[in-house]
Amino acid sequence: MMLYLVFALIIASVCLIALGIFPSTRLRLRPSLTGEFWGLPVQRQLPNFFVSGFPAVFKKASVFINRPFLKLSYINSLQEKLDFLKLPFGALEVFLLKELLLVGLGILVAIAVSASFAWIAGLVGFFLPDIIINSKVRSRKDAIVKFLPETVDLIDLCIGAGLDFLSALRWILKNSLSNPFIEELATVMHEIQVGRSRSEALKAMADRLRLPDISSFSRTIILAERMGISMEEALKNLAQDTRDNRFQKGERFAIKASLKILFPLLFFILPVIMIVVAGPIIIKFTQGSLIPATSSGF
C-alpha cells in the first residue's frame, strides 16, 4: 500500500510540474484539411476527432431537439467559437453531443461503478466538449499571435518591393504556407473582393479575434491609409513591437514557473521524500528493532 501511495504521489507531482511549466496556452497544431477559399489555397485546422463532421441524421435531430435553445446567448457564443475554428458543424449539434454525453456517461458509470457517481460522470461528459473547444480557441489565437510578426514582415517586404497592400496580401496568400493568421487574412481578402471596404474588413477581423496584437495591426493599416503615413515603416515598427511583447510574455511565463513548481514541491515531492527516507526508520522504531538490546552481564 505504501509503494502505491508513493508511486501515485510521484506521478501527480510530475504532472503538476509539467502543467506549471507548460501552461495550457501552448500551441497544439493539428493535421489540417486542404481546400480553397475564394480561389486562394487555405487550410482549416481541425481537431482529429472532428474532421469527419456529424452525420446528416445527427444534424437534423440536433435542430429538432434543441430548437427551444436557439435564443440562448450560450448558443450564439458557441457558434462564434465554432466559426472561428472553421469547424464543419453548428452549435446545436455540439449541444446535442453534450446532452448525449451527459446521459450516456451517467448511465455507464451508474451501471459499471455506482449510481452515486453517475451525476459526476454526467457533468464531466456535458462540459468536456466546452473544454476541448475552448482549448482549441486558445491554441488558434496563440498561433495567430505567433505568426503575426513574420507575416507582417512579408507584407512589409512586398510593399517595399512596389506592391500595394492588396497585391501584397494576394501574393502572400498564394505563395506562403498556410497558418491561422494567413487564413484570417484570406477571410479579409474575401470580404474585400465581395465589396467590403478595406477598413471595414480589417475592423471585422479585429472584432472577430479580439486580440490586442491583431487590433494594433488593423489600426496601423487603417491609420496609415487615412493619414498618408508610410505603410512600410508603420508595419516594420509594428512587427518589432509585436516581437518585443512576445519576448516580454515569455519572461513573465518564466518568472511564474518557479511559483507554480512550489505547490507540487511542497505537497507531493517533499512528502514522497519523507516517506522514502523516514519510512523505514519509523517502521523499525515501531517494531522495536531500531535500538539494539543491551546485555546486562559482563
Cα–Cα distance for residue pair 279/179, rounded to 1 Å: 54
**Using one digit for the tens of pLDDT, what is the confidence trace for 48-95?**
434 344 566 666 777 778 777 777 888 888 888 888 888 877 888 888
The pLDDT of residue 15 is 56
CATH architecture of the region 146-248: Up-down Bundle (1.20)
The residue among 194, 203, 210 whose CA lies nearest residue 81 is 210
Residue range 117-132: mean pLDDT, rounded = 87
Residue 249 grid coordinates: 510574455
The pLDDT of residue 136 is 92
The pLDDT of residue 8 is 55
The pLDDT of residue 13 is 52
Residue range 198-205: mean pLDDT, rounded = 91
Cβ atoms of 213 and 242 within 8 Å: the answer is yes
Given a cut of 50, whether residue 96 has pLDDT beyond it is yes
State percent of the chain over pLDDT 90: 12
Residue 275 grid coordinates: 516517506
Cell 507554480 belongs to: 260
pTM value?
Answer: 0.66
Cβ atoms of 159 and 165 within 8 Å: the answer is yes
Residue boundaries of the structural domains of the chain: 146-248
Report for 87-91, 96-100, 181-185, 262-266: range of highest mean pLDDT: 181-185
Cβ atoms of 211 and 142 within 8 Å: the answer is no
> DSSP of the chain, one letter per residue?
-HHHHHHHHHHHHHHHHHHHHS-TTS-----EEEEEETTEEEEEE--GGGTT---HHHHHHHHHHSGGGTT-HHHHHHHHHHHHHT-SS-HHHHHHHHHHHHHHHHHHHHHHT-GGGHHHHHHHHHHHHHHHHHHHHHHHHHHHHHHHHHHHHHHHHHHHTT--HHHHHHHHHHHSPP-HHHHHHHHHHHHHHTT--HHHHHHHHHHHH--HHHHHHHHHHHHHHHHT--HHHHHHHHHHHHHHHHHHHHHHHHHHHHHHHHHHIIIIIHHHHHHHHHHHHHHHHHHT-SSPPPP---
pLDDT tier, 18 (very low <50, low <70, confident <90, very high otherwise): very low
> Which residue did the predictor score with more confidence, 42 or 84?
84
Q: Which of 5-14, 138-147, 159-168, 198-207 shows the lowest per-residue confidence on average (mean pLDDT)?
A: 5-14
pLDDT tier, 200 (very low <50, low <70, confident <90, very high otherwise): very high
